[in-house]
């Protein structure tokens, strides 16, 4: 009997997932099949960028032309699913039809909105409510910020309605088209490879370089804008960061076996403090809904966060920035991604076993699937150890620290700039 109920309950949950996949597939098809798009386009006529309604009549028609047909298809497919799997159900014969009951919620809401029932929009159209965003785009559930991007970032991405599973599967959970992506450490092997892959994905890369080495001809060939900056003088490019959608922190230094005081200072200054200051400067540019929805920071912390890199200071400094990003995620108004990369061939590691180009390709592909912790390595232990470390550290920080904005540029700009402009010797105290 227990096994029979387990099967029935499993099929009931599967029926809900099924109708959600039907809805997301219908939505996707509506953007590529003209007959459906003629109905769906009404939905895109409804809202201004602040999600206020352009016209009540258009709002009503959009539900009759798009939402009601969409929910009707979900209901039909949910019923078909229940009918097909019912022979395998010996108890709770109605459970495989749970997806139909679930769909009736959306169908009833769409009809109520089409009839302009007072208050129906506030109760049943949660992803289109106007007002300031209170959270960045969600990772697995579609919130207002996530869905806003479908309307005003890219209509060929962000198709999901409740769960973002199909977007992740199709690589449409993050659109890079038209986004300006600044890459630090751009003159290095990985930096160059990332710029190539980002441009292929439709982004406009900007090369941020702080070194003295000659810049590769690749930048000129691709028409990539180059922005020069200096470690310790991050505030000098604050205005440039306002025009950036995604900041990819990729610069670093590896002093290998050196453990002198100078090596300690250099490792932490470049690998941790400089990246943290740029991150905080970038967060200061997040001032409205558009920025919350579109802006992101990607931080290359490397798998040195959890595994030895046979370079103690590299490991320590990378773990420092890794933990700072984990802590900052708790209050960040935008998405912060980590790049946990294994050994690839570069100036920092000439013995790496992966090519920088292959790593960059994986990074971009996984980012488009909205993976927040992007792991690319040949070491299987990293895929096990890093999630455990990240979850445990996040909960530890959540339990034993409190939300505070006193160190962000937005709330105490003068104080943080004072810290940044202190002589480097003070960072060792």
Tally helices (H) and strands (E) across the chain.
Answer: 18, 7
- 131: tokens are 């007002």
Question: On the CB side of 147, how many CA atoms lie within 13 Å of its CA?
Answer: 21
Distances (CA, A) of 196 to 186, 230, 239: 11, 24, 25
Question: Is 158 noted as a catalytic residue in this protein?
Answer: no
Question: How much is the pLDDT for 2?
Answer: 84
| Residue 427 pLDDT exceeds 80 | no
- 34: tokens are 């003209």
Residue in this structure with the two tokens 């169908």, named with its chain if needed: 107
What's the pLDDT tens digit per position in 268-279? 999 999 999 999
Question: How much is the pLDDT for 347?
Answer: 74
β-bridge pairing 225-228 and 335-341: unpaired
Task: Please check whether residue 148 is in contact with residue 142, taking contact to mean a CB–CB distance below 8 angstroms.
Answer: no
Question: Model pTM?
Answer: 0.90
202: CB partners within 8 A, 6+ apart: 175, 176, 177, 178, 179
pLDDT above 90 covers a percentage of the chain that reads: 83
251: CB partners within 8 A, 6+ apart: 184, 185, 188, 191, 208, 210, 231, 270, 274, 275
| Residue 196 pLDDT exceeds 50 | yes
SS3 299: strand
Query: Burial, 385: exposed, middle or buried (Cβ in 10 Å; 0-12, 13-18, 19+)?
Result: middle
Query: 349 φ, ψ to 5°?
Result: -145, 85
Question: How much is the pLDDT for 405?
Answer: 55
For range 129-145, the mean pLDDT: 96
Question: How much is the pLDDT for 422?
Answer: 41
Q: Which residue pairs, CB below 8 angstroms and at least 24 apart, start in 40-45?
A: 40/65, 40/66, 42/66, 43/67, 44/151, 44/155
| Residue 409 pLDDT exceeds 50 | no
For range 243-248, the mean pLDDT: 98
Of the residues 314, 351, 383, 396, only one is catalytic, namely 314
399: CB partners within 8 A, 6+ apart: none
What's the pLDDT tens digit per position in 72-93? 999 999 999 999 998 888 888 8
What's the pLDDT tens digit per position in 2-57? 888 888 899 999 999 999 999 999 999 999 999 999 999 999 999 999 999 999 99
Task: Please check whether residue 78 is in contact with residue 15, taking contact to mean a CB–CB distance below 8 angstroms.
Answer: yes
CA 226 centroid distance within chain: 25
β-bridge pairing 225-228 and 204-209: parallel
- 216: tokens are 């590769």
- 104: tokens are 């009736």
Lowest mean pLDDT among 107-111, 287-291, 308-312, 337-341: 308-312
- 247: tokens are 């900041």
Question: How much is the pLDDT for 309?
Answer: 87
For 229-319, strand residue ranges (E) read: 246-249, 296-300
pLDDT, the chain, mean: 91
């Amino acid at each position: 009997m227990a096994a029979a109920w387990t099967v029935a309950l499993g099929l009931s949950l599967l029926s809900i997932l099924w109708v959600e996949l039907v809805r997301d597939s219908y939505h996707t098809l509506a953007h590529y099949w003209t007959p459906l798009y003629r109905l769906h386009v009404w939905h895109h006529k409804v809202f201004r960028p602040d999600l206020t309604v352009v016209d009540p009549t258009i709002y009503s028609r959009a539900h009759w032309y798009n939402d009601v047909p969409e929910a009707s298809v979900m209901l039909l497919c949910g019923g078909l699913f229940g009918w097909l799997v019912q022979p395998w159900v010996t108890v709770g014969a109605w459970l495989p039809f749970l997806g139909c009951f679930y769909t009736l919620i959306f169908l009833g809401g769409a009809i109520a909105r089409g009839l302009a029932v007072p208050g129906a929009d506030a109760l049943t159209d949660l992803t289109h409510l106007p007002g300031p965003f209170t959270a960045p785009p969600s990772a697995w559930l579609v919130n207002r910020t996530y869905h806003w991007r479908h309307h005003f970032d890219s209509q060929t991405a962000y198709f999901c309605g409740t769960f973002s599973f199909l977007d992740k599967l199709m690589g449409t959970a993050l659109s890079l088209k038209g986004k300006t992506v600044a890459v630090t450490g751009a003159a290095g092997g990985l930096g160059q490879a990332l710029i190539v892959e980002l441009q292929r994905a439709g982004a406009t890369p900007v090369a941020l370089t702080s070194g003295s080495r000659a810049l590769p001809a690749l930048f000129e060939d691709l028409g990539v804008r180059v922005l020069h900056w200096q470690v310790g003088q991050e505030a000098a490019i604050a205005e440039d960061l306002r025009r950036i959608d995604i900041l990819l922190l990729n610069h670093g230094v590896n002093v290998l076996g050196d453990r002198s005081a100078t090596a300690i200072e250099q490792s932490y200054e470049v690998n941790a403090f400089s990246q943290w200051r740029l991150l905080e400067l970038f967060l200061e540019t997040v001032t409205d809904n558009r920025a919350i929805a579109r802006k992101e920071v990607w931080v290359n912390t490397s798998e040195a966060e959890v595994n030895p890199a046979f370079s103690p200071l590299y490991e320590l400094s990378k773990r420092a920035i890794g933990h700072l990003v984990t802590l900052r995620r708790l209050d960040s108004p935008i998405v912060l991604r980590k790049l946990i990369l294994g050994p690839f061939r570069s100036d920092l590691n000439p013995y790496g076993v992966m090519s920088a180009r292959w790593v960059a390709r994986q990074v971009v592909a996984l980012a488009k699937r909205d993976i927040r912790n992007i792991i690319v390595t040949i070491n299987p232990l990293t895929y096990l150890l890093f999630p455990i470390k990240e979850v445990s550290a996040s909960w530890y920080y959540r339990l034993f620290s409190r939300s505070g904005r006193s160190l962000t540029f937005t709330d105490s700009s003068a104080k943080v700039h004072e810290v940044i402009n202190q002589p480097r010797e003070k960072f060792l105290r």
